[in-house]
Amino acid sequence: MGTNQIEAARWGKYATLLDPELWDYIDQVNAWFPPAIVARPIAEQRAVYNAMCRAFHPGRPADVTVSDGVVAADGRDIAIRRYRLAGKASRAIVVYYHGGGFVLGDLDSHDDICAEFCAATGSEILSADYRLAPEHLHPAAFEDCLAVFEWVAATSALPIVLCGESAGGNLAAAVAHATRRSQRRAAGQVLIYPELGGETGRSYIEHAEAPLLSLSDIEFYRRIRSAPGQSLDDPTFSPLRDSDFTGLPPTFIITAECDPLSSDGEAYRGRIVAAGGSAWWQEEPLLVHSFLRARNSVPRSGEAFARIIADIARLGAGDEAPICPQVGEMAGRPEGGAKDRVPSESLGFKTIRHRSGAE
C-alpha cells in the first residue's frame, strides 16, 4: 500500500479534502499532542500542550507592550495579561478567554494570538487565566471569566468586546448571557469555533471524526468539567441551551467547516436572529478546529484570521448596524458566499511585571 493509500485509509475523506499546507499543520500538532495523550495525567497533558504552544509562537509584534496583573475576586486572585499598542490610545477593550477544552491553556498558550489582535485592531486586549478542570469543576471557570468582565466594566469606560476561542468561546457567550441586562454590557462578542453545548446538527454527523477535534474529544472535555448532577441545560454551562436569547450584543461566530462544533455556531446565530438580535455566522471552508495556530503557514487560515480581526475591530468601533441573516451566512455553501465586512484609560489593576513586545 502506497503512502497516499495509507493516508486515505487513516483519514478517509479528509486525506484529499484538506490542503497540503493544512495537513502539514495537523501533522505538527499531532506530533506534539497526539490524540492518545488524553489518557495521560492532566499535568503531563498541560506540559506537552504548553510546549506545543511555545513551538508555534512566532513572537509578539514589536509595538505591543504587555503587563501582567491580578483581579481579586471572592478571596482568590485571577491572573490577567494586558496588551496595549505603544503610543496609541485604545478605542475598546477586548476581554479574551483562551481555548484548551477547559482543561489546558493559560496566559502563555495564546499569548501570540492576543498580541496580534492588539497590533492589528489597536484595541487593548485583556486575557483572563481562569481556573481549569478537573481540579475546578463548573462553574469555576465561568465565575472567573464573569469576575474579570465585571472588573473591566467597573474600571474602564471603554467599549468592551468579548472574545473567546473554543472553550473560551463558550465562556465568552456565557458571560454575554449573564451580563446582557447589566448597566455595562458587552458592545459585542466574537466567538471562534466555540463549544456552545449543542449535541446535534449537520457537523456533528459529517465531521464526527475530523482531524484535531472529534466528537469523542468534545464528550471527554464536557464530562471532565462537569460537577455532579450537572445539567446540560444550564446556560452558564451550555449557552446554546438558554431559553432566552433576547438582549444579546451584536455577535460574530466563526467556525471551521471540518469541525463537529460548526453546527453550534449556526444554531447560536439562528437563536439570536430569531430573538430579534444581530448575529453573523461564517463557516470557514476546508479548515479544522484550532486553525488560528496555522495562520502563518496555511493561506486559508491566514485569510480567516484577517476576517476575525476585522470583526473585532468593527465591534470595538461601535458598529452595531444590523447584519442581514438571510444572505451570505456561510462561506463555501450553495446558499451564499461570504459577505464583505467593515474592519473597522488605563485599567487600575496591580502590575506585577512589564514586558516589551520584543521579548
Catalytic residue list contains 90:
no
What is the residue whose three cell numbers read 478537573?
134
Beta bridge partners of 54: none
Query: Rounded CA gap, 256 and 283, in Å?
Result: 5
Greatest distance between any 2 Cα atoms in the chain: 64
Contact 251, 271 (CB under 8 A): no
Q: Tell me: pLDDT of 333 over 60.
A: no
The tens digit of pLDDT for each residue in 173-228 reads 999 999 999 999 999 999 999 999 998 899 999 999 999 999 999 999 999 999 99
CA pseudo-torsion sign 285, 287, 293, 298: negative
Query: Rounded CA gap, 195 and 171, in Å?
Result: 9
Q: Which of 123, 127, 166, 278 is catalytic?
A: 166
Catalytic residue list contains 259:
yes
DSSP state letters, 102-162? TTS--TTTTHHHHHHHHHHH--EEEEEE---TTTS-TTHHHHHHHHHHHHHHHH--S-EEE
Contact 158, 82 (CB under 8 A): no
Collapsing DSSP states into helix, strand and coil, what is residue 353?
strand
Catalytic residue list contains 289:
yes
Q: Which of 110, 138, 207, 289 is catalytic?
A: 289
Which residues are within 8 A (CB) of 179 and not within 5 positions of it... i.e. 6 or more apart?
Answer: 146, 149, 150, 153, 185, 186
Q: Which of 259, 262, 264, 311 is catalytic?
A: 259
Collapsing DSSP states into helix, strand and coil, what is residue 91?
coil
The tens digit of pLDDT for each residue in 271-305 reads 999 999 999 999 999 999 999 999 999 999 999 99
Contact 254, 304 (CB under 8 A): yes
The tens digit of pLDDT for each residue in 89-138 reads 999 999 999 999 999 999 999 999 999 999 999 999 999 999 999 999 99
